[in-house]
Amino acid sequence: MARQRSKIVLAAMAAGGPEARYDPVRVQKLFFLLDREIPRYIDGPYFHFEPYHYGPFDKAVYEDLDRLAEQGKISIDTTRRYNQYSLTDSGHERGVTVLSTLPEPAARYMEDAAKWIRFVPFKHLLSAIYRQYPDMAVNIIIPQAAPGYPHASFRFAMPSFLSGMARTLDFMGTLDDYQWDTSDERLDALALYHDWSAVGDDLGAAMNTYLAQGTSREPQT
């Protein structure tokens, strides 16, 4: 089981491309989606996710990544605010080989999931996960990502893999409109975007609460 799971980990990460990097939250969500959406295509599920503060979590994901790093298949960049996980050349080569042996729907699903997870803003990622899998929202600590919270806009389309496996057969891409970009600058910009967006939302919520409390204390005329 552990050997097969490691192969799936490499294949899923390789599906994002040779330069793909994943932060801790996003790499967890990638394997959660594979476990929930396409287990029968990949002989899964392989993990045991539980609801945590930032959605589905299983420490075994990190244990696998650490083990693959020891084998020279994964590189872990610890110099940033959050660890960044990427494949080494040998890890990517192995991942691509495994990816080529999977059923076509599973391989395509992995490619779409790996790209979407990396580029969608953080709160939108959590919100989409929570709406589709409400059992994973019970320990949520970001109200703006909760199911039903009003969002002004979504720059990224709701992915086909969160609307049912059947939509992965939409090979012409008529159901979704993604904005893929593999540049490091784009990734950094998106990281700053969702960080500051979260700060702005928190400040807004705090000010609204303060104003509501202040209004309730005013004497009635």
Query: Is there a domain that residue 162 lies in?
Result: yes
How far, in Å, CA of 32 to CA of 14, rounded? Answer: 16
For residue 112, what are the domain limits? 2-216
Per the domain annotation, does 111 fall within a domain?
yes
- Whether the model clears a pTM of 0.75, i.e. scores above it, the answer is no
Residue range 177-190: mean pLDDT, rounded:
50
Q: Would you say residue 221 lies in a domain? A: no
Indicate if the pLDDT at residue 102 is higher than 80. yes
What's the structural domain count of the chain? 1
Note every long-range contact of 104-109, with CB atoms under 8 Å and residues 24 or more positions apart, other chains counting: 105/38, 105/41, 105/165, 105/168, 105/169, 106/38, 106/41, 106/42, 107/11, 107/15, 108/168, 108/171, 109/34, 109/37, 109/38, 109/41, 109/161, 109/165, 109/168
pLDDT tens digits, one per residue of 28-81: 999 999 999 999 999 999 999 999 988 899 999 999 999 999 999 999 999 988
Q: Does 69 map to a domain?
A: yes
Q: How high is the mean pLDDT of the chain?
A: 76
